[in-house]
A and B are shown apart, each in its own frame.
Chain A
Amino acid sequence: MTNNYRLFMLIRKTLLATALIFSALLCAGKSFGADWDKIIIARLKYSGGGDWYVSPTTIPNLLKQASKRFKMPTQQEHIGVAVNDPELFRYPMLYASGHGQIRFKDNEIMAILTYLDNGGFLWINDSYGMEKYVRREVRRLYPDREFVQLPKDHPIFHTVYDFKDGLPKIHEHDGKPPAAYAIFDKGRMKILYLLESDIGDGLEDEGIHKVDTPAIREIAMKMGLNILAYAMMQ
């Protein structure tokens, strides 16, 4: 038995070594692609007291699926970045979520405006109770502009996956219908604000929100991927 086991191990090691050498020979002289420019979505560390860090698995799960379904190179990490952090400009897409107050300090207003004007995109997912604060802060950013509600036929609902009824409802908050609002500048969407939908919760790990069935989580994932694709294409 012992001898047979040793023989088995020897054959296995030999085969493994042969396979490794063979693979190395196959790869020699071949061209390799680049391990670079991975898609990262950072979470916005805002002030005001709201829990910016809520649902830490949302973005990693979204990027994991982007990598799996689209074969996109992604970095599936929960990364937080403050508005005044110079690292802000490493992330062309930001995600902000939480419950309660969001507030930008006076000196952060210019930084976030520069970020958005230079091509950055901010996705705000209202987990609950953010509406009045979001509207107030957006008015501080763009006093001459109002949120535009996105209609059902807006491309963001039809880029990769079709949502004929527009924004899907993932979590019930106040019994209101889900709504997607956006701030546009020269035709480009700069801020997307999702209300009464909570796509972010639906993207979290299985079991965190027991009401989120696999079917609901799949809908949230599809909508999340639509938002990512839209942000990258515009």
Chain B
Amino acid sequence: MLYNILRFLGLDSGSIRNIDSISLNFSWGWASFILAMLVVLPIAWFSYRFEGKNISDKLKRKLITIRIIWLTIICFLLTGPTLIVSGWVPLQNRLAVMLDTSKSMSIKENNETRFDRVKKLIKNGFLKKLEKKTGIYPDVFAFAENVTPISPSEIEKFNLKPDGNQTAISSGIKNVVSHLGEGNILGLIMVTDGVNTVGENPQNTLSKMRTSVSFVTPGHGGNITDYALNLIKPPVLGYLNTNVRVRGEVSARITGTHEKKEKIEIKVTREGNLYEAIPVEVTGNGIKVPFSFNVPCNEEGSFRYELEIPAKEGELTEENNKTGFLIKVVKERLNVLALSGLPNWDMKFITNALSGDPNASLTHWAKIMDNRWLVSKDFKVVNGETEPKFDEELNNADILILNGIPYNYIKKYETDIIKRLESGNLGLLILPTWQSLTQLGYKGTEIGNILPVIIDNETWRGTPGNMVLPSTETAYPFLNFADDPVENIELISSLPKFEGIYDYESVKLTSEILLSSTVTGHKDKIPFMIRARAGLGNIIMINGGPLWPIGFRLVNSERGFNTYAGMIVNMLKWLINRREDAQVSIELANSRGYIGTSNVVKVWVSDSKHKLMQNARVVLTVKGEKGEVYDLVCMETSEVGCYEAAFIPVSQGLHTIEAVASYQGKEMGRSNVDLLVETPTSEFDYPLIKADVMERIAKDTGGLMVFDDEVEKLIDSLNSVPGKKLENKSIDIRNSWLLLVLILLLPCLEWYFRRAGGLS
């Protein structure tokens, strides 16, 4: 009743329909209203006493009444009146049921898949029983990597399939809760096996939820037979005349055969031909057994390697019995020319690191006095010279290291350096020295302009610091010292400290910080290692140092891996082996992709002068192994000359991606790259039902974990009466249309009476 009256007056009480009480409030309190009336009413009264014309008492009373009412309303409105409406609103009137449609739900138990059991559960009236108990028909969702609402008619047909490649439990629950509103949910019931493959750990993220999460587990685990083959960071690039080590793991999970050993053979094929057979002994308890083999890179080109283990009868899935990788073998190009303003320990230890690589050669010139240069060729010191000529060495160099060399010594080679750099035939490494770049004369020069930083306000900060990897997963292999990303971050941050670092005005927008530092500069943490592009060439600039203590103080690890030498040699190799095509080049983060997972393809376009181009049109044509063809148009990115598209494969096998770039209708060039697509098998990595995890989440959130043959227990535990809560709402009376009408109507009425009485 009250709700309807308020609505009639044009006042909205929101979700409060059962109004319990109403009170009137003033923004400035009751006193302000009374005070306003005490001022206004006597004035109104007296003003009528001095009416010019004779007026009947009846009319006078009428007019005074109208004016007093009008003024009262005005005073009333001026004091900010609000109605405080208090009433009961229904709470927890929604119930959510989430059905897991990921591939792990296709695991069989007694010849029946987990998803068949879910189907049976729904067909047996699980949803109707829930409605009967709570009075709420549940909102049903299907989830795997994404969440999809399911309508009652779709539930009736039940055409769902367990084909999701990943399971994101945390984000699935969060999406549903935010969609329905946390306060409105009576409960959330997940029908799942608890296998989470992506996103946050549900145990950590959901424990503090206010919504109770309950689980229905389809089956008790079942008999599992599954072999799994997995490669650990398969190689992408190999250098000619070297070997690349490939590492992987194989496991077997066979119910009831925990400790029983079994011999299986991993068949490795290279371009379809048998390359190697690796015998491995596994036990049925799922323990991963490592294996490794060498891939010789004795010819240039791309080579496809496939690995396979035999399938066992009744195996859960055969998709994880094979895997593969694509390796691109490139000619080793590591002729390094280093120019130093003075001999120093940094270059000495870089020389030592490079000397360990049989394919690297180094020529190092160091100016010692005005008329004397020291020279080291192929890691051997030779007699000093008075007038060095770098022309020939520069032409043969793949990498140029500038190590405190004054600009005037390389001025005459500057154009040549830039040209070779932009054409992708030279990589540039800038090392810090005791003289700043401005002191060395690089400010305002062509070389100075292509550096990753703006050489202004160059300040030396003599604060020791550590290197910091800015992201968990670095795309740069030379910064990956450990397989585990967290271990890698820790390893980098524990390297010997540097003594100081140069702070610059700013890092250019197109540059990328590869390593940050713990030293704070004039803006933020000062970058330690920055990368920039110059045409098709790469530049790496190191701002802090010295670097040599890393090479000197670190002894070789147990794995026989020298962190420093690995970083230096791989960084230099990366610097030069980046680009492959003159005008159009494709950058793919990995040569291996997965069905249903997005692969970002970057295409770099430059003109015939190797200047990166804007406003080009770049089209990708992707050809699959089975003859399927897809066309994708790349979007221009904020980086000059870079165009990007995302390709989501739908089938497995080798895919060739061809990029064609055109500008104003004229083709600029084209480039190809291969992508090996595999079916993701992470859903089968942990095929057991994770009852313990689900039980813990249910307990933490006030829910329950039950098996599908005991759902009645769960239904009984649900509170059948939806709750309600007392809510208050403040309504501004000034929004009432009735008051507006009165304010307008009363003066009109007064005017009418005055006119009828002959007063105006």
Residues of A within 8 A of B (CB): 29-37, 39, 69-73, 89-90, 92, 114, 118-120, 155-156, 158-160, 186-188, 229-234
Contact = CB atoms under 8 A, between A and B. Distances in A.
B522 to A, nearest CB: 13
B45 to A, nearest CB: 78
B541 interface: no
Nearest to A153: B383
Given A188-B379, A232-B344, A36 B499 contact: yes
B201 interface: no
B555 interface: yes
B355 A186 contact: yes
Interface string B334-361: 0000000011111011011001000000
Nearest to A34: B460
B345 A155 contact: no
A104 to B, nearest CB: 18
A126 to B, nearest CB: 23
A31 B436 contact: yes
Of B372, B376, B434, which is in contact with the most chain A CB atoms at under 10 Å from its CB?
A: B434
Interface string B450-479: 000001011110100000000000000000
Contact of B376 (A35, A186, A234): A234
Nearest to B458: A31
A35 B455 CA distance: 19
B502 interface: yes
Contacts of B343: 72, 229, 232-233
Nearest to A231: B348
A32 B555 contact: no
Contacts of B433: 33-34
A72 to B, nearest CB: 6
Contact of B351 (A36, A73, A234): A234
Contact of B352 (A31, A70, A89, A119): A119
B434 A89 contact: no
Contact of A159 (B364, B374, B545, B548): B374
B434 A188 contact: no
B435 interface: yes
Contacts of A231: 348
Contacts of B372: 160
Contacts of B434: 33-37, 73
Contacts of B458: 31-32
A232 B348 contact: yes
B706 interface: no
A120 B376 contact: no
Given A155-B383, A234-B376, 8 more contacts: A31-B455, A71-B342, A160-B368, A160-B374, A160-B384, A232-B348, A232-B366, A234-B381
Interface in B518-560: 545-546, 548-549, 551-555
A33 B380 CA distance: 30
A72 B438 contact: no
28 contacts: A30-B438, A31-B439, A31-B455, A32-B439, A33-B439, A33-B460, A34-B460, A34-B500, A35-B460, A36-B499, A36-B500, A71-B342, A89-B549, A89-B553, A92-B345, A92-B552, A118-B551, A118-B552, A118-B553, A118-B554, A118-B555, A188-B352, A229-B343, A229-B368, A233-B348, A233-B376, A234-B376, A234-B380
A187 B380 contact: yes
Contacts of B379: 187-188, 234
Given A89-B552, A186-B355, A232-B344, A31 B459 contact: yes
Interface of B: 342-346, 348-349, 351-352, 355, 364, 366, 368-369, 372, 374-376, 379-384, 432-439, 443, 455, 457-460, 462, 499-500, 502, 545-546, 548-549, 551-555
A88 B462 CA distance: 22
Contacts of A230: 381
Contacts of A120: 552
Contact of B546 (A37, A114, A155, A160): A37
A71 B500 CA distance: 20
B661 to A, nearest CB: 40
Given A37-B345, A120-B552, A32 B368 contact: no
Contacts of A118: 551-555
Contacts of A69: 369
A233 B383 CA distance: 11
A194 to B, nearest CB: 17
A233 B546 contact: no
Contacts of A188: 352, 355, 379
Contact of B432 (A34, A72, A90, A159): A34
B85 to A, nearest CB: 66
A36 B462 contact: yes
B436 A119 contact: no
A36 B384 contact: no
A72 B364 CA distance: 18
A89 B457 CA distance: 34
A233 B460 contact: no
Contact of A35 (B348, B382, B462): B462
Contact of A37 (B436, B439, B545, B555): B545
A114 B438 contact: no
Contacts of B460: 32-36
A39 B433 CA distance: 13
Contacts of A39: 345
Nearest to A89: B553
A137 B545 CA distance: 35
A66 to B, nearest CB: 10
Contacts of A32: 436, 439, 458-460
A108 B451 CA distance: 46
Contacts of B344: 37, 232
Contacts of B382: 155
A72 B344 CA distance: 9
A92 B547 CA distance: 13
Given A29-B457, A118-B552, A187-B380, A233 B374 contact: yes
Nearest to A186: B355
A233 B553 CA distance: 19
Nearest to B504: A31
Nearest to A40: B345
Given A233-B343, A233-B376, A36 B459 contact: no
B351 A158 contact: no
Contacts of B548: 92, 119
A31 B438 contact: yes
B339 to A, nearest CB: 13
A217 B639 CA distance: 61
Nearest to A118: B552
B442 to A, nearest CB: 10
A229 B438 contact: no
A188 B356 CA distance: 11
B383 A72 contact: no
A158 B368 CA distance: 13
Contact of B552 (A33, A119, A158): A119
A83 to B, nearest CB: 15
A104 B458 CA distance: 47
A137 B346 CA distance: 30
B369 A155 contact: no
Nearest to B384: A159
B368 A119 contact: no
Contacts of B553: 89, 118
A229 B352 contact: no
Contacts of A73: 434
A31 B457 contact: yes
B462 A187 contact: no
A186 B351 CA distance: 13
Contacts of A187: 355, 379-380
The 6 closest A-B pairs by CB, nearest first: A31-B438, A31-B458, A232-B343, A34-B460, A158-B383, A31-B436
Contacts of B348: 92, 119, 231-234
A89 to B, nearest CB: 4
A234 B343 CA distance: 10
A158 B375 CA distance: 11
Nearest to A32: B460
A190 B368 CA distance: 22
